Every structure is written in structure tokens, then in C-alpha cells.
Amino acid sequence: MPDISIIDLAALAWFLLMWSSYTIFADRLKGGGLSLLTVMKKHRAGWMHQMLRRENRIVDATIMNTLMRSVSLFSSTTLLILAGLLAVLGAVDKAQDLVQGIPFVVEASKAAWELKLLTLILIFIYTFFKFAWSVRQFNYSVILIGSAPPPAEADTPEAHAFARGAANVIALAVSNFNRGMRAYYFGLAALSWFLHPVLFVLVTLWVVGVVYRREFRSQTLGFLEATPCTADNKGAS
């Protein structure tokens, strides 16, 4: 590729390898054990079973609306970030002149800068799609809460199956939100690429370590695991 150094391409390949590998490790292989996603899946199943026993389910709808507002906020913010990146893409020369004045910044061609900006744009397009899909799934979850069986039928096999299904839909929404948030972390790592490709490699590795610790080794995970789920989760998976 003309005007783009091998080290830049190698750093980009490293970045994509680290992101995709961690996603497979965390989301498909579940890290080989306990994680925030697996622990919270149990608590969401408990929430849905408790919801079935409530005559008034306003509190459940309020919780869902709060979750949806958080996702919507990030979705809107992502659009603003994309607008800013597209504006910078149209003024690459000015952006180069601004950054080149910073000490220790490696010189890069215009083509390299455009590649870096396009990479960031693609990252945040992916992020927006994840947040937008998460919002829709939370909307479906609200509809499920509205169509839940009455409290008198809360202990029937059908009601338990309904609670498991509703919890799984919410889990999918949370999973997409989590992937969007993870993309923010890696997007921030990609910013270091504008300074130096070696720094980009190191920051990417640091981000993987931070995300791993929060999802698999955090104090929050320990407290959530130690917190009993009081609902009847018989048959929950």
C-alpha cells in the first residue's frame, strides 16, 4: 500500500487480532468460567421470576426504561463522534499540522492518516450498530414484561419458561451493549496510533488487560457472585 509503512499495517493487524481474539474468548468461550455476563445472566433470570410474582410491574418497566436511556445516550454520542471524525477526514492536512507539533509524534503520510481515520470511523460505525440493536432488544423486553403471565400463574411451567425467555432476550441486549462499550475502549486505543504505531500496539495490549480484569477479575464480579439470587431459578440457564 503506497505511502503507508509496514509498521503501521502490522500495528493495525495486531489491533484487529487482539480485538477479535478477545471477543471470541470473552463472548463465545465465556473466558472458560466466571464473568460479569454469566453472573448477571443468573440475576436477570431471578429478576424475571420475581417480576412474575408482582401484581404491579411499574418498577420493572421503570428499570427497563432506565437501561434503555443509558444505551440511547451512548448511541447518540457515537453519532456525534462519527460526525467529528468525518469532519477531520475532510481536513486531514490541518489535523496533521496540529499533531505534528507534539513531541515524539512519528511523521506519517496523508494516506496513513486517512487509513487511521477510516479505521476509527469503522470502529464507531460498528459501535453505533451494536447500541442501536441493543435499544431495539430492550424495547422487545419491555413488550415481554407487558405480556407476562399474571401472578396467579407465576409457578406454572409456562411462566418459568416465559421468565427464562425474557431473561435471555435481555441478556442479548446487554451483550450487544457490552460489545459497544468494548468498542469504545478499543477506539480510544486506536487514538494512540496517531502518535506512534508502537504506542498503538502497547496501548491495545493494555486495553485488553483492562477489559479482561473488569469482566473476569474485578471486585464487582466477586460481589455479584457472592450475592444470592432469591428468585426461583429452577431450570434457568
Of 82 and 32, more confident? 82
Place of cell 512519528: 106
Rounded Cα–Cα distance for residues 108 and 193 (Å)? 10
**Rounded average pLDDT over 133-138:** 95
pLDDT in tens, 68-84: 999 999 999 999 999 99
pLDDT averaged over every residue in the chain: 89
Rounded Cα–Cα distance for residues 164 and 167 (Å)? 5
pLDDT in tens, 115-135: 999 999 999 999 999 999 999
CB within 8 Å of 31: residues ≥ 6 apart: 25, 212, 215, 216
pLDDT on residue 232: 45
Query: Which region among 82-86, 93-97, 137-141, 203-207 has the lowest average model confidence (pLDDT)?
Result: 93-97
Report DSSP letters for 37-66, one per residue. HHHHHHHHHHHHHHHHT-S--HHHHHHHHH
Of 105 and 85, more confident? 85
pLDDT on residue 105: 79
pLDDT in tens, 182-212: 999 999 999 999 988 999 999 999 999 999 9
pLDDT on residue 236: 41
Q: What is the pTM of this model?
A: 0.89
Q: Distance from CA of residue 74 to its chain's centroid?
A: 10
- The full length of the chain comes to 237
CB within 8 Å of 167: residues ≥ 6 apart: 41, 44, 45, 47, 48, 236
Rounded Cα–Cα distance for residues 163 and 48 (Å)? 5
Rounded Cα–Cα distance for residues 60 and 125 (Å)? 31
- DSSP class of 236: -
pLDDT on residue 231: 55
Highest mean pLDDT among 54-58, 77-81, 105-109, 231-235: 77-81
3-state helix/strand/coil string of 76-111: HHHHHHHHHHHHHHCCHHHHHHHHHCCCCCCCCCHH
Record the cell numbers describing residue 196, joined without a space: 506512534
Query: Which region among 18-32, 52-66, 128-142, 147-161 has the lowest average model confidence (pLDDT)?
Result: 18-32
**Rounded average pLDDT over 14-39:** 87
Rounded Cα–Cα distance for residues 77 and 75 (Å)? 5
